[in-house]
């Protein structure tokens, strides 16, 4: 179980264009790492659009935004184009980062139990330590909550 103050697990995953992106690439920067269930679903689309809307403000505070789901690169590409997403989307079909961050959990939907990604946001400091964990975030307010936190 990850906790604030712990070293954030490093990962190396492909982005929508096939470039391998690692957490360690952003040492010296603040990283907003958000895990979400699925491209092009209503909640995930609203969450991504909210991050896109706050992108300039978050960037001006020195934050890098990275979204991770188990969707394919092709899915991410369509998702990013459809909503003009200016930030990094990483594909984790093997669930390596998803499991390393402990967000692959049992979920209940309409009484049915299944495993899936629980919407969670990690704020990682310039030294790659976990500064804040936001559990079970709301798609519509996640980006503004992150912005409010970073603005202090």
Phi-psi region of 2 (alpha: psi -120 to 50; beta: other; left: phi over 0): beta
Instruction: For each of the domains in the chain, give its residue range(s) and CATH number, in order of start.
Output: 28-151 (3.40.30.10)
Predicted model pTM: 0.96
Query: By percentage, how much of the chain surpasses pLDDT 90?
Result: 95
Could you give the CA distance from residue 149 to residue 63 in angstroms, rounded to a whole number? 12
- Beta carbons within 8 Å of 22's beta carbon, 6+ residues apart: 10, 11, 12
Tell me the average pLDDT across 13-25: 97
| Dihedral sign computed on CA atoms, order 84, 117, 4, 138 | positive
Minimal CA–CA distance to 116: which of 104, 108, 134, 99?
A: 104
Is residue 62 part of the annotated active site? The answer reads no
Instruction: Give me the pLDDT at residue 108, please.
Output: 85
Q: Active-site residue among 21, 32, 44, 80?
A: 44
Mean pLDDT of the chain: 97
């Amino acid at each position: 179980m990850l906790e604030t103050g712990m070293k954030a697990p490093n990962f190396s995953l492909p982005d929508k264009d096939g470039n391998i992106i690692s957490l360690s690439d952003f040492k010296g920067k603040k990283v907003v790492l958000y895990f979400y269930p699925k491209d092009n679903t209503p909640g995930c689309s609203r969450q991504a659009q909210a991050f896109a809307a706050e992108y300039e403000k978050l960037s001006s505070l020195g934050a890098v935004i990275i979204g991770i789901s188990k969707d394919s690169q092709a899915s991410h590409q369509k998702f990013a184009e459809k909503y003009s997403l200016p930030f990094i989307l990483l594909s984790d079909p093997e669930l390596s980062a998803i499991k390393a961050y402990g967000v692959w959990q049992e979920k209940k939907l309409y009484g049915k139990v299944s495993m899936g990604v629980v919407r969670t946001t990690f704020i990682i400091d310039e030294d790659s330590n976990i500064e804040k964990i936001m559990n079970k975030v709301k798609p519509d307010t996640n980006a503004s909550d992150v912005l409010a936190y970073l603005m202090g």
